[in-house]
Amino acid sequence: MIGKLREEVNVIKMEFLKWKGNMDCFAAEKEAARTQLSLELEARLASELANAEKTKANADAFVAVYRADVKAAQSHMREVAETARTRAHWIVEFAKCQSRRETLEEIHAQGFDLTEEIIKAKELEADAGALASDDDDDDDDDDDDDDGNKSGSQSGEEPDGEETVPEITKKLSP
């Protein structure tokens, strides 16, 4: 009977060792699976991180291009606004010169000799008209008349005719 019990104990020990071996094998497999999963997750994380960096670089490039486009558009807008202001100024000057010439011609029609003033007014009107025109092909900054003199306010004369008004008044006075 003792022999039988010892045999049973040995069988139980063998089963125990077998179970223990299986448990150790399962623990090793579990650790290997955990390591494999960790490696896969790290690889996936690295891939996603690389994609995120690439997307961020693309977005940064897009923002840089957008900002450059905005700056260029703002600069163009300022240039257009300045051109419009300058053009409006010269249109007003043209209207003033035209009105002044017409007034001088009306005074001349009443018998006063204002030929010089009318010629000067026509020249100023032509200069202002040229500056107020739409032609952008005359981009040289040369405001000289044919005789080499500066025209309009460039020559030191007032474009609104303040110098000619006293002369007219003197000629009209008896």
How many structural domains does the chain have? 1
pTM over 0.85: no
Q: Which domain does 83 fall in, by range? A: 2-172
The helices-and-strands tally (H runs, E runs) of the chain is: 3, 0
> Which tens digit of pLDDT belongs to each residue from 64-121?
999 999 999 999 999 999 999 999 999 999 999 999 889 888 888 888 777 788 888 8
DSSP string, 79-111: HHHHHHHHHHHHHHHHHHHHHHHHHHHHHHHTT
